[in-house]
Amino acid sequence: MTNAEPRGAFDHDKIRQGVRLLFSGLGLDPDDPRIAGTPDRVARMYDEIFGGLLVDPADVVDTMFDEGHDEIVIVRDIPFASVCEHHLVPFVGRAHVGYLPSKDGQVTGLSKLARLVDVIAKRPNLQERITAQVADTLERVLEPRGVIVQIEAEHFCMTMRGVRKPGAMTVTSAVRGLIRKDPRTRTEAMMLIGGPRPSTYG
């Protein structure tokens, strides 16, 4: 499950067995010297690309500063890579994350927003889920007056197979609180984010 509770480590033995079965299913000999080391490489790779399963996203933004800031904070163009849970191929893109600080004016470090995207993306995933989970985590931990998250990504399950449309971008958004309710605040946030950027991922 992609929403599983954080755990201590992955079971490399099971991953290696799974890759060997995959090769067998393709009619390849998993003991062929050319691919014999692949199961171990994949197991170690999964420590990186699925490492978000080992981290509670809330822990990433647990540092706050009393700055008395009452205007929108936005970090644009945060690059990320994730893996589609339907086909186990990548999708890559950029996230734009913003929030309207709490009534007390507390802010979190700018790098925390980028780290949050990274942690949530590093799981078998859906773009819509990443978008919502980033917004929900910020809303729960920072208690801001508003949150906006916009993600645009190219999905290799559309580029490499199926409709085969390289360069097609999927855009998703999640808006919470005052940024959702107040048209002027939402317009300001959208202007700060700007429109979707041209694809630079392939």
Task: Give me the sign of the Cα torsion angle 116, 121, 124, 128.
Answer: positive
Q: How many other C-beta atoms lie within 10 A of the C-beta of residue 122?
A: 22
Cα Rg for the chain, rounded, in angstroms? 19
**Active-site residue set:** 84-87, 127, 155, 157
The string of DSSP codes covering 36-97 is: TTHHHHHHHHHHHHTGGGGS-HHHHT--EEE----S-EEEEEEEEEEEETTT--EEEEEEEE
